[in-house]
Structure 1
Amino acid sequence: MQMGKLATLVLLYVVSFCSMVGTGEVQLKTVLINCGTNSSFDVDGRRWVGDLAANNNLTLSSAAAADTTAALSRNTSLGPLYGSARIFTGGLNYTFQGVQGDYFVRLHLCPFTFDHYNANGSEFSVAANGLELLSQYSVPGDIATKNPDLLSSESNGSSYLIKEFFLSISSNELVIEFLPSKGSFGFINGLELVVSEDDLFAGAITKVGGNIVNLNLSGRGMETMYRLNVGGSQIKPSQDPDLWRTWEVDTSYMTNVDAGSQMKNDSNITYASSNDSSAAPLLVYETARTMSNTQVLEKRFNMSWKLAVDPGFEYLVRLHFCELLFGQPNQRNFRIYVNNRTAADNFDIYARAGGKNKAYHQDYLDAVSSNTLWIQLGPDTATGASGTDALLNGLEIYKLSRNGNLAYVGTFNSAENKTNNPKARVLLVGIGAGIGSVLILALVATVIFLLRKRRRSEIGSKNNAPGWRPLFLHGAILNTTTNAKEAAGTKKQNGSVASMRMGKRFTVAEIRAATKNFDEKMVIGVGGFGKVYRGKIEDGTLAAIKRAHPQSQQGLTEFETEIEMLSKLRHRHLVSMIGFCEEQNEMILVYEYMANGTLRSHLFGSALPPLSWRQRLEVCIGAARGLHYLHTGADRGIIHRDVKTTNILLDEKFVAKMSDFGLSKIGPALEHTHVSTAVKGSFGYLDPEYFRRQQLTQKSDVYSFGVVLFEVICARAVINPSLPKDQINLAEWALRWQRQRSLDTIIDPRLIGQYSSESMKKFGEIAEKCLADEGRSRPTMGEVLWHLEYVLQIHEAWSRANDKESSSLTVESLKDCQAGGAEERQNPLFTDPDLAISMRQRGKR
């Protein structure tokens, strides 16, 4: 009886299945098409079927008589799929039945040469159910822009490319249309459709800088831009058997690979929930990248991935996490930045995933207007977590369609921008004319440049000395008769910006005489450009002479920038340029000599006497005045970009002057908030916001100056790897003590007894404000200067009060002694000098 019921159920199931097949209602799980042939083959347990073979679910149609199949023996080394291709000179459609649902659609493309067809000249467009996937697409052109590490390449030069899209198909049919550009052709090696049965991209998603929204892909599509296995090796499709995805290595996309070290955990990893099971294979979560503890000492910086994208689209950013180390919440908290904006702070993987070794993913949505998408993870030092290192296991980037379009061809190609519009044609003609004019001007400029270069080469050939040619002062008006001391700034108007370059032109003979023929005993410093000598020029004035190394290209740009800056700037708290030398293949700058060297040398690392608290305040005020002048003394201001204690020099009267303007940049124009530039500066002083965004502002100098303030009171190096982990970085270490209002615990012991608690309190507050994580929260240099002057006033008032009290104590003691007899004269204040000193110190306290 039971057997009869079972047979009936099986029969009903078979009949139902057959009827669904007849009506096309069965959803196809995976479709693998080998294009341009009727042959089939198996790879990794999957069967690829020729597009000419009998297939009830696929219809192939073409509007071109020249539709061709090709046997590509040259590509067989890449696998059987790339040994054939379908070539089309007219419209070509692949129609699939029974594909309702969510699918990954992959186009397999491999350039080739066959008969008179050369794939290097192919160009075509692709659409899926009306959604434009590719427009005027060139496979070799796309391969040329990709990182070679991401492509499979053989010794014969063959490389292939896979374009992957995610489509939510509402109908029961998928039509993939191929259309070559006019006068060209297109090709396709393979088509792959893989169903995504779970709601892989369903539900709420966090919009960067906004609210949580629902991701609705109905009528939209996505293109897979990147899929990275962070901290691990490449994962092949066969290792991701559910969706057959390729996970690439992330190292080639990191701005600094050493910023994140790899880690691996062999323990059993499980998914945090059933919704995560198809997000990524468990192999992704077994490896990770976490911020380095030894390679990168500056823990305020981030692990950064720089990814090239198409502007004008929204992007889905999927981050994969799995806590592999900590077994409790609030032990690893960090921040997530997407496109230089905070996407999440106080991010705790353990708390979000529900435990250790739990695979979890987080999605973010952001609109991108530039060609670059930044993903950055870094410590959230404000959380108080025991560990603030960031961690990431995997990264995916998807481009979302816009107005029925996923294609990008230089400018966004939407329905409203078609060139059959008369106005558009007029615009294109105007653009063409403009481009033509620019090309003509460029040609003329090139000819002039080549002629000038030839002339310079002829002049340079007279000098047989090897090395670089000098950096000429282009269009400069040079004062060759200015007295050296006057040029040094001793008689110049402070605070004025010269409208032309100033300085004396020295001969090489004069420089050699001043430095005793570049005697090594005269060297007082060495940089990437060369050496700095102490010298005495012809009128007996001491000078610092910077000589660029003739055989080195390092620092030449910075050298020229310094000439440009110092020839325009004059201020009491900026080092002045006396002159220059640019003959006999030399490039030399001559500065005023700063008798007391660098500020750092008076803080630590030398046998020099320590600076008093008053001297340190005056030095900081002087440096702040110099920076304030840089920021405000010109129309757009100047950003120093390398503020540190070795670039603050002290003259014979300990007057502080800013030096080394080789990295300086002109500030942003009025309509801009920053200067976009590569990150340069000194480790330990770098503004973390500038490091993350590569956007330089005057507040970057403020941050560096805040580090200088802490260095001044702590008298230690800003980075010291020999110290315990939490003390390596001075800025972080001092900031923690300052936030606890216990900064006096870590100050230079030589300052004890020299300052009032109120002045130290205010000083620490200024430094803390300078080190705010975001530039907009930091004060200007003018505000910093005002507060430092206030601290000095507090200190001077305290000093006067203590001096008066000490003086009163001494006078009263003398009166007592004089009024008494011989016994009174035995007062310990007279007989014990140590006690007298102790009394005075007690009075100061």
Structure 2
Amino acid sequence: MIHTKNLVCSCAIHGVLPRNLMMNSWVCLLVLGFIIFSMGITRAQVKPVFINCGSNSTTVNASGRIWVGDSSGNGDVSLSYSGSVMVVSVSASDVAYADLYRSIRIFNKTSNYSFRSVRPGNYFIRLHFHLFPDAAASTFGITANDFNFVAANHNLTDEIARRSNGSSSLIKEYFLNVSSTHGLWIEFAPTLGSFAFVNAIEIIPVAGELFLNPAGKGMETMYRVNVGGPEIESDQDDDDLWRKWEKDAVYMYSANTGSVIENTSAVSYSNGSNPTIAPISVYTDARTTSSANVLKPTLNISWKFEVDPKFQYLLRFHFCELLYSDPGQRFFMIYIDFKIVDDNFDVLARAGGKNKAYHQDYVVVVSEIKTLWVQLGPETYRTASDTKAILSGLEIFKIDLDEETLGSKSSKNSAMNISLGIIVGVLTAVIFLGLYIFFHRRCNKKTKKPEINTVTNLNPNPSTHWQPLVLLNLDRSASGNETPLSSTAIRIGRRFTITEIRSATNDFDESLIIGTGGFGKVYKAMIEEHVPVAVKRAHPNSEQGLTEFETEIEMLSKLRHRHLVPMIGYCDEKGEMILVYEYMANGTLRSHLYGSDQPHLSWKQRLVACIGAARGLHYLHTGGAERGIIHRDVKTTNILLDGDFVAKMADFGLSKTGPPVDHSHVSTVVRGSFGYLDPEYFRRQKLTQKSDVYSFGVVLFEVVCARAVIDPTLPRDQINLAEWAVRVQREGSFENIIDRRLQTDDYSQESLTMFGEIAEKCLADDRRNRPTMAEVLWNLETVLRLQESYMGVLNGEEPSDEGMRSSSMAEPLRLSLISEEEDDEADANPPEPTRLEESSLLSLDSIYRSHQREP
């Protein structure tokens, strides 16, 4: 595994990743001394090591492999302290590794296994433990090359009882990057008065990119599950990595919610997948959402996994579309701990075809909860032949981006550690207080420098939060500033090569340009199996540049919502800054209002588009991150419409994380688009979520008036749309300035009046008098109900009770004017996520609706 620090040292100065450097032999020679510490070498140069602990035998055959005794005189393996050996009786009918588990190496004091033949690179390390009569009295810790595998005082008997599903043995698997040229050492450290033990050790070199730039130095495999298929034994692994895959049934919440399907033709790997990722047998069958034996077809399929709290977990989903041949025939949703992490998920489109093996990674942060829920269910808001979810495999890895440890983190420490911690903490606080005062005074005397957007370290909530692996572990430069994201962030998502991008865009054919902006040009392109995408390429003199490029990758990697434009991947080869998005067939909202030959939208279509954009912004403000996210560039060209005219927010290059709970704003230099910019933000350089609300108010007036927000060709008092529209609205003649293409019969007077009032409230001079996006959304939905009721009456229908209720609620607006402090507290704290009821499965419809309003 590539450690972030090694990656920075070896590659950041070149602006590319080691994989790209290896494409040029002369560059490879220059940096080989650095890369060897972070990339490893192939398995042809390093053979796997199989050790039978406590044995002097040289040939024990177990699971199709030859295991060598640790006391057989093998010169490549040595022990610093031999401890003692115990021989026990193990039934071959009960344990697959019975021949190995008959001997046990026991240590009553710290001892190291040293493997001098292990060279720098990536390895699977597996430690085998089988219970024996006195094992319950054993407590110890395990460390490998200074990386903590198992915390001190750990009792394996408890873990085996918890995780082994009735078995008396446990194999703990780790993925470790060995950077030392002196080999590998594994230390067993028993607690004072106790002992440590081990039955067998495997060291398997891993060639290729099993994990694309993985975070940290190591990770522990918690679960590896073949979903819908049989158990895959270690000797059936296609790539000689000897991985075992369990059946998923034992982890399912309800077996009735999922049925098994099998492939009807050969399965192959898609781009980015290979036997190193998973054996092909994982993808030849799958489990899909079942509707035959459940109460509702909309119920989700769920798996439940026990995990250790206070760690991050990488979840790798394995998919393969076994039934359909064209994109758009199957859509579904993915949940991790009851949060939507991916919607509109189309396996075939992402994999590039039918029977193509594909994987997708996410990271979840677990603070206190010991149970991790994984759920899949139908996407009920898209039209498709099939909305049943499908999954072929799932792996869960424990990682730690903050410390070099995978051992359990306890809140209880020894008295010595507590005392030392207090002393160090007090001294550190005094030092930092002095430094803060010194630098704060110096900085106040200097001119403000332009801001630099960077990713911050993880700071998890007291609850569980999903975040993808863009991540998250940043080193500091010598100056103390955060290093740029390009040299430290670890990204999840497809990393396109420049060759793939050139092929998809026909070498950036000008005829494929569908948009231009400060960042550069946007091309319509085709990737595998003729899947349309939008490719945004920065030009060399981009007004935005690297900071915005990295910010957009960061934001779109960790944000998933129906009303946010999904990012498919990126390309940063050869100095390029290219982002690849899902193609939005109907372009920008502005193009349907004025300035183009696109068909204009009806009043109802405009309302639906505004509601979609409001839902996207509401998600950003309340559910997109712990402190919320401020878009900072809300305008009609950043609201895109897909093929079904579903509105999605786009362009997150200027986005900022919201203020902490105890702060009312974010102090930052002014950025945004002229005409949409919050005047209070412009004057005071204090950014809040209400700045987005102001910009959205301008969008509302632009939608109904269908004119530019700044038009110098108009009379002086009409140049600025926001100022002019508010004045006309207050004069009571708002209907006189709306788009002339909206006929009187097309809209309800009541809905238009309420719409104008919402826009006016959004443009209040004092941000404390502006509504939140939740309030804007609520009122816009009321406007839509009024319009639908009006249209029903025109068609000869009786007014609905809901329409009558909407009419009675239309005045006054549901806009709460609260203090600045209350406003900030309300915006900064997202609502509690929906929890799975013990009595039954949740309906995906109800979960989805809760995420739409309370993401």
Bin the TM-score by the shorter chain.
0.3 to 0.5
TM-score, with normalisation over the residues of structure 1? Answer: 0.45
TM-score, with normalisation over the residues of structure 2? Answer: 0.45
